[in-house]
Amino acid sequence: MDVHSWIAEPPDSGRSRAAPERHGAFENERTVAVVSAIWQKHAKAFRMADDDALAQRLRRLEDLEEIRQLFIDYGRHLDAGDVQAYAELFADEGEVLLGPIGRAKGRAAIVELMTKVKARATTPSFHLVTNPVIQLDGDRATSEVLWTVIRPDAAGKLEVAMFGRHYDELVRERGRWRILKRRGKIDVPAVVGR
């Protein structure tokens, strides 16, 4: 048996194999000790690599979930009319570009814009944010989501008021995911009054 066989199957594997007879019992014990040390070192490296891979996979899942929650909170804060909480979803230099609805950069400007939007609303609305597609790249990410605005008509029956999508640039800021830039596209209706 050569040394490579001993590395593939360490001496303490529970199998009864005699050490190769080369230079006496002392040399065999020394060879077993060296091979065992090499095996343990490599086994530890493999375990550490597995731990690193597991930590990376866990981090990715946590990032995706936090970003999905960001989208849910976006709709929830809009529906509640909580423009301050809405603005907190954006990075310090966050920017919102909502076509004919308006644009703003920085949290104070976002609060101002959304306060005006809220004042123009004549009925409550409900935002459904769906189908997130998220691409992670370290502490940055891009995403696309579909959104639907539902509101009651004059008779109180719910209707789809608008449908569109957001294209986002996201950033991890002080350990939390935030929207750096959100570009809104309205698909239905094609024209929205200010």
Q: What is the pLDDT of residues 115-172, one digit of tens each?
A: 999 999 888 999 999 999 999 999 999 999 999 999 999 899 999 999 999 999 999 9
Q: Which strands form 90-97's sheet, in the order they lie side by side? A: 103-105, 90-97, 176-188, 158-173, 140-152, 126-137
Tell me what pLDDT residue 69 has.
97
Domain spans in the chain, listed from the N-terminal domain onward: 61-188
Tell me what pLDDT residue 194 has.
47
Tell me what pLDDT residue 17 has.
54
We find that the CATH architecture of domain 61-188 is Roll (3.10)
pTM of the model: 0.72
Residue from 180, 14, 40 nearest 96 by CA: 180
Tell me what pLDDT residue 13 has.
52
Which residue ranges in the chain fall short of pLDDT 70? 1-27, 43, 45-46, 48-49, 190-194
For 11, half-sphere exposure in the C-beta direction (CA atoms, 13 angstrom radius) is 17
Answer whether 96's CB lies under 8 Å from 113's CB.
Answer: yes
Tell me what pLDDT residue 27 has.
67
Tell me what pLDDT residue 7 has.
47
H helix or E strand, kind and range, residue 94: strand 90-97
One DSSP character per residue, 128-188 reads: EEEEEEEEEETTEEEEEEEEEEEEE-TTS-EEEEEEEEEEEEEEEETTEEEEEEEEEEEEE
